[in-house]
Structure 1
Amino acid sequence: MYDVVLLTLGSERDAAGACGGGDGAGGCCGAADALDASPGKAADERCETPRVPVLACADALTDRGARVTTVTARSDVEIDAVLARLDAPARPDGLDWPDPDSKTRLVVATASDGQLRAVLRRLVRRYAPPPSRRPDDLPGNRTVPDLPPIGVLPLDPARSTTQRDLAGQLGLPREPAAVAAAVLDGRVRRLDLLRNDGGSVTLDGALLGASDESGRPLYWRGRVEVDDAVLSAGEEPLLACAVGNAGGYANLAGLPLLTGPDPADGIVEVAVAVPVVARSALGRKRVRFEVRRARGRAVAVLPRDERIPYLDDGVEGELSRKRSWWIEPGAWAVYRA
């Protein structure tokens, strides 16, 4: 028999009855994004987290014989208290470590990819050993052990028809009963994780660049390197830079950026879109976009402008200093159908 924790992310406002309708239903959609959005804010701050999918999933798990606990976490501390249930017995080196044989399974009810990222970020912080205490049993190409698998319960099962959220890209079950079956049957798919030197993680990808209120692109400058390849030296204007683990930012307004992002190939794909002015036979100026691409283990972006707007797993922010991402092959996992 498994113990299953069904985790929903909320906010302090929700606890005070100012958000979520006062029924304890699970909080504000954007609240958990805000835990992981410094600097920046959640892309979606509407208070509409539904409770019905959580109850339906809990019922389906109970019908299969699982012991179910539902938790609404409103802070990093409360998320950490849930993740501690996944710990292995104490190690001689004193490190917190996930238990590969744990009878406790975790399901995260998500209103956005940013909420799922908030939980993965806390998992990484819990289990990543400091460099000075790196154990011998940690894979040489990783800074974290195999993180415990997570069941993903989308709080809007129809969302994949209008938005390519990560659950939709990965082909994960969306209906509560199907999510429960995947978690209890234990089929696991391991996926790559992007860590960055800002202390966060990326599951899907990041898109640097923005447009003004009229939809006109706001060009920016920055040095973009992928391993030893330089996509931009920082002297020319850029429309966008996509850093892809999965395919959420593969296209920008019809412009193909990433050609084949694979969340399990151990590689990060990066693309920059550079405006190029050309003249027609009649002498008219026309702007087209040159897309430069590279694949590798790590990417670094050094802004030449003061601030560069970006989205990272759907969470808004501004980049004002160098940021580096690197791939952690197979570091996290999901329960699949």
Structure 2
Amino acid sequence: MHKDATRGRTEVSDHDQLLVVIDPVARRLDGESVRIVKDVLCAAAEAKICLPAGNEEFARAIARRGSRRLVVVGDDRALLRAVGLMYRDHRQNGPGERALSLVPVGAVQAVELARSLGVPTGAVAAARTVLDGVVRRLDLLVDDSGGVVVGDLRIPAIPGTVGAASAAAPPSVWSACRSLVRTLVRPAPPGAPVPTQRLRVEADGVMLTDLDRPVAGVSLRSHDGRAEVVVRTAEGDRLTADAVTVTVSGADFRYRADTVVGGPVRTRTWTVRPGAWGLMLPPS
């Protein structure tokens, strides 16, 4: 559903023409913050307000944004959807200079990624950044299925997989997901066996670890055009590398890309795309 909110301007620059896409979760959880954001933006710019009912309408709104500057009002999941859609558009139609603006709305834990990127989490401050901020070009980690990672990617071992990866029948998808989430948010109690899995990790073609050496976890993060790779072994060693392309393979494994759990997969390759997207941030 769309609604135009204009102030009767006869001449408006591209910078002042906004498409404000308000995620339905934000509208449901914090309608007051959403109202404040709309008031601030519509008072200072020509803003087209879009209220998608779900992910499909969200995607259509972004695809049809035209020359308007995109503003997403929502949590980290809404941010990741928008970045993924804009990256796919970048691949199809060539790079564009337009940046994404974000107004974080959601529970504290649901906007941690936005905060880590430097976006103000207050409704008024974030809306002012939309209007007066500066664009910062940021890297992406892009996998071979088209998925994107803005912040951290982690591959933890799932509890119950100590030792060989093929020791038992695989758990159900639901139980595996629950185990993965527990592993990501709560450390193992002292004295508990360290879960491991057998993975091959290659950084720019150089093998960091092979299937004969169980690992307790793998993490990736893009920075300055490279991926920072950390492999934690069962013995407590920490293997590190900087690379453009990282390939992980082995028995079925799951991973957490920002807030999204992916897999199971047998192999996955992530590649750094330097400056692949722009985010509006407060002036330094």
**1:232-243 mapped onto 2 (5 Å cutoff):** 232-243=209-220
TM-score by length of 1: 0.64
**For residue 269 of structure 1, what is the aligned residue in structure 2?**
228
Percent pairwise identity: 28
Question: Which residue number in structure 2 is paired with residue 227 of structure 1?
Answer: 204
The question of 1:177 aligning with 2:124 is answered: yes
Structure 2 residue corresponding to 1:114, chosen from 77, 100, 105: 77
Question: Does the 8 Å CA contact 1:61/1:68 hold for their aligned counterparts?
Answer: no
Residue number in structure 2 paired with 1:154: 104
Letter in 2 for 1:70: C
Between Structure 1 and Structure 2, which shows a larger proportion of strand residues?
2
SS state at 2:51 partner? strand
Unpaired segments ≥5 residues, structure 1: 11-19, 28-48, 88-101, 130-134, 136-143, 246-261, 277-288
**1:123 match:** 86
Give the stretch that moved more between structures: 190-199 or 316-325. 316-325
Alpha carbons 1:58, 1:68 under 8 Å: kept: no
The match for 2:31 is 51
- After superposition, the CA RMSD in angstroms is 2.4
Q: Structure 2 regions of 5+ residues with no counterpart?
A: 1-11, 160-178, 183-187
Stretch deviating more after TM superposition (289-298 or 113-122): 113-122
CA contact (8 A) 2:22 2:49 kept: no
For residues 122-142 of structure 1, give each alpha carbon's deviation from its aligned partner in whole angstroms, at most 9, with x where no partner exists: 22222313xxxxx9xxxxxxx
- Greater helix content: 2
Name 1:292's counterpart in structure 2: 239
Counterparts of 2:97 and 2:253, CA distance in 1 = 32
Q: Is the 8 A contact 1:105 1:183 kept in 2?
A: no
Number of residues of Structure 1 aligned to a counterpart in Structure 2? 238
Name the residue aligned to 1:26: 27
Aligned twin of 2:137: 190
Match of residue 147 from structure 2: 200
Paired residue for 2:52? Answer: 72
Residues 234 and 73 of structure 1: is their aligned pair in 2 closer, same or farther, counting only changes over 3 Å? Answer: farther
Using a 3 Å threshold, how does the CA distance of structure 1 residues 293 and 73 change in structure 2: closer, same or farther? Answer: farther
User: Partners in 2 of 1:211 and 1:237 — Cα distance?
Assistant: 12
* Runs of 4 or more above 4 Å deviation: none
- Normalising by structure 2, we get a TM-score of 0.75
Amino acid of the structure 2 residue aligned with 1:218: P
